[in-house]
A and B are shown apart, each in its own frame.
Chain A
Amino acid sequence: MLSKSNKTAIRDSLNSDFPFRDIQINMLCNLFLTDDGVLPPCVFIHGLPSTGKTSIATRLLYLLGKSVKSSIVNSVCCYTNQFLFEPILKDLLQIKQSELPDRCDNFMQFLNILKQSEIQQERVIILLDNCEMLGHEQIVLFTKLQELIKSYQLCVILISQVHPAKFDEDINFIPIVFEQYNNDEILFILSKDIPKNWSLSIYQNFLTVFMGSFYGSCRDLVELKHLAKVLFIKYVEPIEDGSCTEINQPLLFRKISPTIQLLLNNVYLGTSLENVNSLSDENTKFDKLALDLPYYAKYFLIAAYIASFNLPKYDKQLFVKASNKKKKSNRLVNKTENSTSQLVGPKIFSLDRLLAIFYAIIEENTNMTANLLAQVNTLSDLGLLIRLGDGKLDTPKYRCSVSFDCVNNIARTVKFNLNKYLIDK
């Protein structure tokens, strides 16, 4: 058992390391730093990403140290039952993989081994991070583990970004909610890792500018930290080369705002932002990378788009040359930004219809060769078409999954007027 002074030490250390998490730390400490050693059966920690869930829980377990037996498992790694149970057993029984009695790949074996090792006498905490990756019944069983083992000193902590109500109303747990940090809290936390050689006032000025532009689009602390680091180097450039003083904030802001604009478009993209300059290079590269497809594949994609966003009943109007309704249809075609068909989304079409439209819009006369048909498959492999149906040979069905802008760009490269062929009703 821990002494009273120890407990306050743990509490204080947590509070100093993790600001603005008083309520959550309080709750955790009340639950786990008890005098009688009785632990709750299941605690469910949930909250949005980077709010300190895993860090606080693991730090708590670390601080509890030898007084409890603990096992921390990231459920992402448990792609089979075996990889879920065996690491837990290894941690709790403090043995190596080779010393496990035998394979443990179902819950019954897991329970038996735990029971045999007389784990009931000790305080045990099992922490399952990202528990939404586990199977439903596994979560239910873990919440009832205390019951099944018959030990009051066993607790399972589940951590997830998913709200517990999404799982099942059937499970019993003590919820602990980690709220997102608000603007001021993030400012405070960010100001903690101030770069060397710079005064706090400059950095805080920078952070107010930074948060003002980024807080609206991103509240992920990890991402913000990274962005701040990249941006600060750019921010202080004018100060370093002497063209601007520290006090002249409006000028500094004017100088940094184009870079902020650039970065705002790249939040959450995971592109390696080692410095801002590399980013602008990459942006120019993006422009060059229009989708480059073989000639017929382009026409197939256009045909697929037409098939997806037009009803089959208009096909005759559009593609049969003798049809005298054509003039009428031309008047109807007024593509607006958000036409109804765009909002409804692509509709399913069959391969036959795709081929028919393809041959109607293509100018040259081409034979239907194996290569040509392979193009359709290539497109669906590339994710530009979505293949539907159960893989039957006779009636494959597709759906176009490319945006209007993309197809329109492709159509322009082959000098095809796509708007003329879209009927919106």
Chain B
Amino acid sequence: MKMKKVLFAAVSAGVMMLAGPSLAATELTVQRFFGACDADFGKNTDVGKAVGECGIITSLINKFNADNPDVHVSVATVEWPGYDQLTAQFASGDAPDIVTIHESALSDYQSKGLLMPLDDLLKSVGVTSDAFTDAARNGATKDGKIYGLPIDSWTMLYHINMDLFKQAGLVNADGTPILPKSPEELLAQAEQFKQKTGKPYFVQNLANETALFTRNLYTYLFQQDSDFFADPKHVKLNTPEAKKVVEMYKAIFDKGYTTKDLDYGGAINAFLAGEGGVQLNGTWVVGDNNAQSETKGTALNKGGYAVYPYPQLFAGAHAQYADGHTWAVSQKDRTPEQTAAIGKFLKFFADNDFDWSRTGHLPAYKAIITSDAFKALPHRNTIAAVADLGRPLPSAVQRQFAIQDIVGEEMSAAITGQKDVDAALADMESRVNELLANI
């Protein structure tokens, strides 16, 4: 009798071991930025309840895991933008399967053969590039192939405290904010704002920041038709157009039209506390700011919150700097199950892009951007124009994040008066060109 039991146990164990691999879920590693919020959304699978970038992406991945028991996605969250870590992971052969990469950074990894072209995989799950918006398709396409599933297009915006704008007398009869149409108007309105409210017009995160400065410069160079990256290997930034932009921001700094010593988190808090009129920040805070404006007792609830693209200050193209987020897939040997699981994950994000667009980012799919549901989201009537205005750097420009650091450092030095404007522009140009010449 005892022997029988032992035999039965042994046979059962053997069967389970054999059956094991086919029952086990396919493991995928996903690496992303957008922050960590497990305390609030760690277990949430109801995506509709989530707000903000972190909340929505966490909930989406939770839902994917819940809906697909045959696939298990484990998530590693990295500090924005996470490229130092990703580069080290690629170099040591330990890259995640799927990773968030900006469209502006795709070419760095694609040019080294580290990313998998996704055309065939996406086609196999029914996602074709003609479904993408033009901005998303162009951003994700390198050398004629798709190297990342675009999930949005983003840009910088004017986030406006309407209560302070009303106090400053900068509101039209229809209740919309009065925005400047030239650098001179901007300075005049900022002065008027300061006089009437006693507060700075801008809430900017200028402390040890580079990205904001650079995006501001690119936007106003586009608006002056300055083709500063005509040659992707050689930049021209020591130009009268660039000088105009830097001098404009320097005047804003010198005349006290902006907050000065705040870092990114500090600037968000200052804007939410009503310490300035316009915060220069991205599409990603629209959802959070709107939620604040609907909460009684907050500074944004007092007179309302509005959000607009950067005003057209120059006579050139109607444009502003834009970029986008994608899911890219690392190049490595995989079983058909693993590849199929990646396809499922990408398809899930393509299907659920509307939820992602609730963050404030613009959707990467034509069907969503033209949908009534998207248009019905708050403030989309004012910011949807960004889909046409948004312009990235030419996709052949490599090391865009490193360039951003150099441009931002030099702009910061010029604006805060640590360096002469001409010297800063000359150094900016030579440092970027030195970097590009040695790739």
A, B assembled together: no
